[in-house]
Amino acid sequence: MSRNVAIIGAGIGGLSAAYDLAQGGHAVTVFEASPQVGGLASGFKEPRWDWSVEKYYHHWFASDRHILGLIEELGWSDQVIFPRPYTVMYHEGKFYPFDSILQAILFPGLGWGINKARFGLVGLFLKSTNNWRALEKHTVDAWMRRWAGDRVYELMWQPLMIGKFGERYAKEVNMAWMWARLKARTTRLGTFRGGFQAFADRFAGRLQEMGVQLRLSTPVGRLTPNTDGGVTLETPAGLEHFDQCLVTTSPALLARMAPDLPPNYLQGLLNLKSMGAVVMALSLKHRLSEQGYYWYNIPKAAGFPFLALVEHTNFLSPEYFGGDHIVYIGDYLEPDHEYFRLSLEELLERYLPALPRFNPQFRREWIQQTWLFRTPYAQPVPLVNHSKNIPPIQTPIPGLYLACMSQVYPWDRGTNFAVEIGRRAARQMMGEE
């Protein structure tokens, strides 16, 4: 039986759900508050550029079977490329390559004794085990200190935890999150020709050819259950009725949009913790990394005013961007952090003194343009025994569903698992699982 379905959010998860629902013969309307598709993977493009640049730096791993499988279904696998970028780690004032077994062995921070052996054995165990449910009973801090040792943990993993989750949550995140991060990721990193926005736009075009309606710049207000089943959406065009509605935004936003949900379910949504993201992109006249490094992992204790510096044009050629050198400066922060309130100019003044630490030749005059992007919902915080906190895709309101990055646990957020959760939601909505 064909249903009239609404999807709120035109990110990769929402578009993936729309694709399967449309293939299943359902009438699908996608509502998106912003003027473009892509969600957190959307991008921007200057007139002189051939490719777009993501607002929040993105790439695919060679193991991302959900997104790469979808692209294969669409017939666009020839548009996926895997350049060879270089990731580095900071140690005692210097950056060292750290994205291969050999480079890990040569990394000087662990010395040549038991610490390096424990680091290797722990990594090998986490790569080989699938028993993440046993790991989620322990925090990363406690588990790593026990099995890898204090020195290895404090040097290798604690900076990541503090950088990702801040001092508030760094010691509370469960070990299944770290397991999933190490289990699923590869050193090979990929992207779509033209950028992620090119993929999202092309995907949206395919959906429109299939009959899907895309309504951009169309925020949705309250969601109300119908007495005869289905859901009514409050839209700029008025009240619109649908047999089913899939929300692909944050749990907190669903709680605000659907106050008719049962109180205990609403509270469960609001209890889910997450970190926000602040990302500044710079267009430079010259390359910042003299060595051609792509991704700099930076411990907060080293005194940098940000978590990561990513030179995008050491991953992709500057030729795609009119010869500009594109650099990201990013951080995961709690949504009440002052970086969410500072203007672009104020934040740039915070960042500038740190840039000569990457290249002593850097001068402010190198900067051609700057862009600032902020989102309060970028990184879910998985606490101990977090699996019991994950809301099901089908909410207690008949016909109302939720598919967001807080539900991909134990896996980490990203377009790969956005595809997986979106398509899983579509199957449930069609009664296929």
Task: Quote the pLDDT of residue 187.
Answer: 78
Task: Quote the pLDDT of residue 432.
Answer: 84
Work out the pLDDT band at 371, boundaries 50, 70, 90: very high
Work out the pLDDT band at 117, boundaries 50, 70, 90: confident
Query: DSSP of 79-147, one letter per residue?
Result: GEE-----EEEEETTEEEE-SSHHHHHH-GGGTTSHHHHHHHHHHHHHHH---HHHHTTSBHHHHHHHH
Where does 271-324 show beta strands of DSSP type E? 273-284, 295-297, 308-311
Domains observed in the chain: 4-80+194-272+386-429 (3.50.50.60), 100-182 (no CATH), 274-381 (3.90.660.20)
Average pLDDT value for the chain:
94
pTM above 0.85, yes or no: yes
Work out the pLDDT band at 110, boundaries 50, 70, 90: confident
pLDDT tens figures, 271-285: 999 999 999 999 999
Average pLDDT over residues 45-73: 96
For residue 74, pLDDT beyond 80: yes
Preceding peptide of 410 cis, ω within 30°: yes
Beta strands at 244-247 and 273-284: parallel, antiparallel or unpaired: unpaired
Task: Quote the pLDDT of residue 98.
Answer: 77
Work out the pLDDT band at 103, boundaries 50, 70, 90: confident
The per-type count for the chain, helices as H runs and strands as E runs, is: 14, 20
Task: Please count the other Cβ atoms lying within 10 Å of the Cβ belonging to residue 278.
Answer: 23
Work out the pLDDT band at 182, boundaries 50, 70, 90: confident
pLDDT tens figures, 373-420: 999 999 999 999 999 999 999 999 999 999 999 999 999 889 999 999
pLDDT tens figures, 77-90: 999 999 988 888 88
Average pLDDT over residues 57-71: 95
For residue 188, pLDDT beyond 90: no
Task: Quote the pLDDT of residue 86.
Answer: 86
Task: Quote the pLDDT of residue 100.
Answer: 67
pLDDT tens figures, 118-159: 888 998 899 999 999 999 999 999 999 999 999 889 988 898
Query: CA 361, CA 327: separation in Å to the nearest integer?
Result: 16
For residue 64, pLDDT beyond 90: yes
**Paired residues of 190 in beta bridges:** 60
Rounded to 5°, the CA angle 319-323-325 comes to: 105
pLDDT tens figures, 301-329: 888 999 999 999 999 999 999 999 999 99
Average pLDDT over residues 425-431: 96
Query: CA 241, CA 234: separation in Å to the nearest integer?
Result: 9
268: nearest Cα among 421, 395, 413: 395
Work out the pLDDT band at 101, boundaries 50, 70, 90: low
Least confident of 39-43, 104-108, 352-356: 104-108
Task: Quote the pLDDT of residue 107.
Answer: 78
